[in-house]
Amino acid sequence: MTRNAMKRDHNMDMIPRDHIAFRVTGHAAPGTAAAAPSGLLPALFAHYRDLTTLRYDFPLLLVKGGPAEGAIRSLSSVIDGVLQEAAPPGAEGERMRQHVLRMEKEIRATTARGVVGSLAALWEKSARRLAAASDESLADSLARARAALKVDGTLVDCNAALPARLFGHAWERVQQERTRPVREQIRALIVRLSDMLKAGMLASEAGRSADALKAGVGSAHAGAFDFDLMSRLLARVGGGSTLPPAHVRRIEWALAVLQSQRFFQVADAGAKAANVPYDFVFTSCAAACEAYGERLPRMVELLKAIAVARLEAEGRYVDGKHDLFFDAFDAGALDREDLSLFPDYLVCVRWSAGDPADEAGLWRLLSSGIPAKVLVQSDEILAPPNEEKALPFLTARSAHLAAMAVGLRHTYVLQAVSAHLLQMKDAILKGLRHPGPALFSVYSGCAASAGIPPYLHAAAAMESRAFPSFRYDPGEPDWAAAFSVEGNPEPGADWTTHRLAYEDEMRQRVTEDVKFTFADFVACDARYARHFARLPRAEWGAHMVPVADCPAGALSQSAAREPYVLLVDARSALHRALVDDSVVRESERCRAAWRRLQELGGIRSSHAERLLARARAAWEEEKAGELARIDRAAASATAAPEAASAVQAAARPASDAPAPAEPGVQERSADEPYIETPRCTSCDECTQLNSVVFAYDANKQAYIAHPEKATYRELVEAAEACQVSIIHPGKPRNPNEPGLAELVERARPFL
């Protein structure tokens, strides 16, 4: 049995048996550790139960008109803009601000009930409702603020419909911008080719006939002219040139194709009204693939028609040369530039539970090179509870989808939660403008079993690293620019930290920093309530540790410490809930997956750390060599005078001999604890054990900052935990420390 195992067993003696049984089995024995009742929420949610009372990003305004960059805004930012413009300085302005903020709150509450409408309409309704229950000054404030409101659009709350609405809106705006040059070109070519045909017709004998002239004037004024006479007169002065028949046929063909195409809506250019434009929005990847295949011949035809029309319009079509080229032009000749002229396909897929139905279609579409933008909205990222524990929790494919898609070449990938879509606006627009396929994997926060608003659940998924944000852009020149996790809160940390303020049992106000982990996210979901056991306050003890403080990869080491999460009930009373081993294990997996993402994003890169370690070792070697050279030089400089004085010294009386050298003042006492700092691998084990005693220096290597504040037990445990055995605990300072004899024995290998 190893020393650590013995220590664990010793500590585990202090832990009630029902706790151990619960942690291992996930089942609380009757009358012992109480299973966490549903209704308990992570403590950090205490202040967010009613989101309508908070001023935050939602609802969002999907702005009508204007550039794509301004297409998505928060209602709060719109109201701030209005107040900035309309509120006068001083008390009157403050009154107006209060009135307008009341109305913003009213609109927020309305959209939270699921009402969707334009800002203008919801403003009018809310203003009427508030004015009916208030004095005239409120109506006046709202009327003046309304006059300063310059934007409108649809207001949407954070709910199941949000992702598709938001992406549909942004995609529409990007398509409008992208296809504008082609639409204008088609329109101009239709006009030009029509004019050429008309001019050619007028110059011809047929164009000068009485019937053609009559048709050109129209029936309303036909009686006012003698068309036979006009025809004879024109024939006498005419004789101009006509277009060669081959050109006329080509122009007529190109014109017909341009007028009948269904890819673009071209206004006022003789486009046939019967041409219903193609729909580019799909709810299935397979359907989008099929539509693309069916439309491919029409795309080739349209590209040919545009090219022919341009050559004819500029008088540059050369029969022999261009005929050959266009005869050979087919779908195989289309390149990325050709495809970029056409609208992209938007596919909005919704995965509510379990494995996706259309996953094969998704991979086929993304790897086909079709410029499709695919939104996969997931309403569940935790798999259904699994009594047999045969599979880990995070088996919902949607939680891993985006990471898998990074392996596809040329596919832009964005993973985000719905609560964070406003912040990811630029990354969304970039993906929609990417010339190749793009995948947007969005967690909606609408898990059926979560009894909290979707906004909160989605935000919790990101904060807990269960569904972190990241972006991969294959258009960037190198990996560092292509992959980013910067959209996450505290991207350099394992878990996010929040300040929690509460009253303890003595009604004293306490504040502490609390980390939000994957275990806290699981605790939001009533389906997993049995994995948490609420402990009575009498059973709380120093052996309990927050899940976040369980050392990485050390579940077994944490067996002697009881991991817990902080929960609150409906009255905001604080509880500690013991977490079973399966959730702790899953939290470790989640942290490991997050660390891999961090590394891809350039945070704590193992490659960079290895390079750094090599460079540091080389530098230290060089420094040691330099010091040795200096010592040798100093020694040879003193050797000559010493030799010269040796004779005199030999003749001197014994009392003149130099005193023996004093011991070096820097020499370390074997009794003091210390760390071989240059060998530290920055693994966090000791700093997590006690961040006051153990600290990192500027090179992120550990040293003992406050030996006087350490117990001997902490020093010995740190020495045992250190993977490279560089912590030396020295001798105990406090002869009365409990268990000293055993600790001294355990410290022996590290002295």
Site residues, ligand SF4 (CB under 6 A): 675, 680-687, 702, 721-722, 724, 726-727
CB of residue 680 vs ligand SF4: minimum separation in angstroms? 3
Q: Which is nearer to ligand SF4, 141 or 690 (CB)?
A: 690
Nearer of residues 447 and 686 to ligand SF4, judged by Cβ: 686
C-beta closer to ligand SF4: residue 580 or 685 = 685
CA angle 455, 460, 465 (to 5 degrees): 135
| Nearest to ligand SF4 of 360, 613 (CB atom) | 613
Q: Residue 279 has which token pair?
A: 């729909």
Smallest separation, CB 88 to ligand SF4 (Å): 59
Min dist CB 609 to ligand SF4, Å, is: 13
Is the bond into 477 cis (omega within 30 degrees of 0)? no
190 closest CA partner among 63, 79, 275: 275
Minimum distance, C-beta of residue 684 to ligand SF4, in the bound complex (Å): 6
Contact between 439 and 409 (Cβ < 8 Å): no
Contact present, 324 and 302 (Cβ < 8 Å): no
Residue 746 Cβ, how far from ligand SF4 at the closest point, in Å?
16
Query: Is 555 in a helix, a strand, or coil?
Result: coil
Give kind and range of the element (H or E) at residue 304: helix 285-313
To ligand SF4, the closest distance from the beta carbon of 686 in angstroms equals 3
Spatial contact of 166 and 156, defined as CB atoms under 8 Å apart: yes
Measured from the CB atom, the residue of 539 and 549 that comes closer to ligand SF4 is 549
Cβ-based nearer residue to ligand SF4, 265 or 691: 691
Alpha-carbon dihedral of residues 107, 113, 118, 123, nearest 10 degrees?
-20
Question: How many angstroms separate the CA atoms of 263 and 338, rounded?
Answer: 13
Q: How far is the CB of 717 from ligand SF4 (least distance, A)?
A: 11
Q: Which is nearer to ligand SF4, 264 or 750 (CB)?
A: 750
Assign 731 to helix, strand or coil: coil
**Whose CA is closest to 517, among 12, 193, 129, 43?**
43
Looking at beta carbons only, is 367 or 682 nearer to ligand SF4?
Answer: 682
State the minimum distance, in angstroms, from the CB of residue 417 to ligand SF4.
Answer: 33
Structure tokens at 676: 């071989």
End-to-end CA distance of the chain: 22
Query: CA-to-CA distance for 167 and 173, rounded, in angstroms?
Result: 10
Containing 563, the helix (H) or strand (E) segment is strand 562-568
Using CA atoms, how far apart are residues 233 and 608, in angstroms rounded to an integer?
Answer: 89
* Residue at 321: amino acid letter: K
Residue 475 or 749 with smaller CB distance to ligand SF4: 749
CA 75 to chain centre: 22
Question: How far is CA 469 from each of CA 441, 491, 580, rounded to the nearest angstrom?
Answer: 10, 10, 28
> Least distance (Å) from ligand SF4 to the CB of residue 673?
11
Which of 481, 567, 581, 571 lies closest to 526 in space, CA to CA?
A: 567
CB closer to ligand SF4 out of 494 and 685: 685
Q: For the CB of residue 676, give the shortest distance to ligand SF4 in the complex, in Å.
A: 8
CA distances from 731 to 28, 719, 745, 750 (A): 43, 13, 11, 11
Least Å distance, CB 175 to ligand SF4, is 53
Q: Which is nearer to ligand SF4, 429 or 702 (CB)?
A: 702
Residue with tokens 């209060």: 98
Q: How far apart are CA 326 and CA 333, in angstroms?
A: 11
Instruction: From residue 367, give the alpha-carbon distance in Å to each of 407, 409, 684.
Output: 10, 8, 41
DSSP state of 372: E
Q: Are strands 117-118 and 562-568 parallel, antiparallel or unpaired?
A: unpaired
CB of 728 to ligand SF4, least distance (A): 10
Q: Which is nearer to ligand SF4, 41 or 675 (CB)?
A: 675
